[in-house]
Structure 1
């Protein structure tokens, strides 16, 4: 009897039930109730069941095309071996084992599924094989009576149990996989949140680093400003002592005291101070009509009492200043104009009308003084291209030299030399400037300070008209106003009320303040 190897899942049952043998009971013990060891005398007692069955039935076994040794199946007789083996291949357990074997390489969950079901599948297949072997043996022995339906039920029952167990295990594993997916999703959400927190912390760290850089930069800037202020204070303290009078001046022949055409510059000379204006005198919103170039002060100059001694003492210094003006060399942020612009005729008033006559002859006068000093000096004339280096080797006048300068001048009663005013730059350097440049800086500094003082005293300052109205209730407040008035230059009317029991001393203090203002 031959059967096809490609059968349906119930091919094993079809093969068994297609035989024309009377059915017997399904229980192997019922199929062979007596132990027929006498029929198997030639077979060893420890031989496998299939060997003893083949020997007893006188069946020549044949090698099956595909063995079931991998899954623990017993060998069947040659007449049914290939059909049973092919039928078992087509059954659900074998498919599950084969499919699970492939999936085991891809997923840990599927591997666990196979590890859990493999023993059950193997046991079910082995039990089914034993039933078939017992059924065949019973048929050979002539014991039958098992119906086709009973045999099918007997063989289906283990597979149904296996199927139910597979469904249960599959459901359990699906639930476990779902729980794992949820856990993975939760972990991913947690990682996303942690990443967001990390990004926020990173941004916060970057912001803190930027703030630290800004704080460090501010600290460095403040340190630089502090160092500049300390240097300015030290410089100011030194220069206030060293420069008690203006230090920039020139010497020109006196005009016109009966010049001798052959020797016009032999006897009398006059000293003219210079205004040390420059970048330091420029203020925000300053008047563009006022030039910030070095120029002669608004003063007729001072006659030099002892010219010979004067040139011996100050000749090199005067020569340096004259050449600086002649060649237009700018040093120490001081802008030097052309010689013709050293005197601005439009800015001259009646008090300095003598300078009008000097304007036309200042350049020849400078040339003659330069020639005189060079003839009297031991030093040779320095070329123009080397003059800047030559000036750097000249020492500036010390405080004692400047104080001694006054002894050579025939001064009038005015104690302010050259109508110049001493100022201090932001860097602490002392500069002597004319009234125009002094007032221009004063308008931006002292005026603001005076306004704040009047406001703190409860008064009113009309800057346009120069009128101050204030009511003072004590001598202390009056002293504050008097100190502010000494520095104020634009107050023309003062409406003041002394609201306390005044004495003659108080009125004298007010009078002194008005004189100083």
Structure 2
């Protein structure tokens, strides 16, 4: 049978011991007693004492009291519970002769018992109040859960009657002071024992008291109704007296008074019926109270059943003890088996000792070998020291070489920055008129044909053009940035390479640096090693391009090496006159340096195009076609927005001018169209028909048409709101005729 751990308590200055079961705290693993359980047995409990020490509540890591409040279990110790009543000093537990004994419980119900007369000042006494015997000499506590009594004026020849809520009644003859107090203590102890048994029914009684309180409230309401009815009856009697008096004075009104009396009689009967109903309800409430008392009795029976269940649990505990004994027997068997295994282990240990002896012999042999190895290591250390000294000397020489290399690297960075500056200067330079491409490079025809120093011969160079595509020629409907690349052409051999390199060597060296290292400006981007972007669909000299693609790195490096030796390192700014000469270089001059067949184009795959800013660029046919398509789409959208038309083959444009914003968009589209048409050998607009729907755009229209500079414009028609004017314009009189038409337009609009 398992033992239930508990803690013993007693009220201070009392010998009555109460045992409270402890609880197991799963977090800390220790046994504890809840403060709430202590308060249920010791009402008004203030703190706990263990001899002269105060028992503190358990706290957490922050020294805050654990919730719910609890104390630690003190085995084999009876703890003292200090209550509010026990704070008074127990200076004398006996009564002197002639003193007055008072038993009281503070602050609830009090019973006063005198000689031959017992008066109840309350309907009951709380079972959890402390009983204190108070005399003129001192105070003596009688423990908790005792019935509260007050005893006054005890005579020597009178009997003391002690009642505990109808459960105990005895008489104590009071003759001597000490004998009476001892008898009273014994009687109180027996009363406390009975009262402890009633603690279990305390909550049930409290519920019944609450229900009784509700019934009392109902009865009070019923009494109020009865008082109200009695008042009505008294009023009716007064009215009947008044009626009788009025009958004597006015017999003529007798009939009316009789009718009123009948009505009043009916009301009285109704009130009586209501009173009867109220009495019935009161009886019903009494029945309910009786039923609840029966329920309390049933609950008492249930408590007895629970006690039986506890007994069954205790029996099960005994069964578990038996099972534990069986498990102990099994453990003993396991111990025997373990001892056998230990014997086997001892045998194995003997074997291990033999192995250790053999191992010791092997260790001695190994020690001899280690000594030999240590001697060899010393020899190696000496060799390592020599090699370290040599390595240190080599490191010092290497550090000096690294310092020289750092200086060369810094120079290379400065040189690279200068090259990038020159490349960006060339790429950002713009020309409104440029008859020949300005971006080109030269590469050796074959890498194997070099001299002893690795320099390629001058007559072995070949010229290749670069496409100037970028954000200037990117369509409006794309976000991709086009990169400068080599044109789809096999290149041209140089007729007079020495003269060509003498004139453009510095510029060519800058272009070769751009191809090798790359560059990036706001409008153009050059990736490193441009030759990797060569096209695969070139029809002529496919073998030459394949050779360039496979050997691009070696070819670029060989060209840079040759040009650096020919023109010197780049240490000064690029000559601005050389850049200007590139802008004015015409096809005939360029053709004089190239080996070109009779019908072969000098510009390769490049086409001249005018950008929106009015600058001239040379781009490949593929990008020129994309640029033309985007420009035509923009022009068509502008013309369609004005309900106009454009006939590209006839070179005829008809638009309707509606606002200044439309004039600007039309002007931008015409500028782009002019460059595209000239590059593709298509006719530019020769007939321009403008229809004006408002007067505010006339001046702006005149200025923008003059700025277009359409040298092929033959006819200009201005259609106003009331009349139209058609004028034939010769090529030399374009600007003048337009100005005159502008003046006519202004005068007509003012009229």
Q: What is the TM-score of this pair, normalised by structure 2?
A: 0.27
Give the structure with the higher percent helix. Answer: 1
Q: What is the TM-score of this pair, normalised by structure 1?
A: 0.37
| Bigger relative contact order (CA 8 A; separation at least 6) | 1
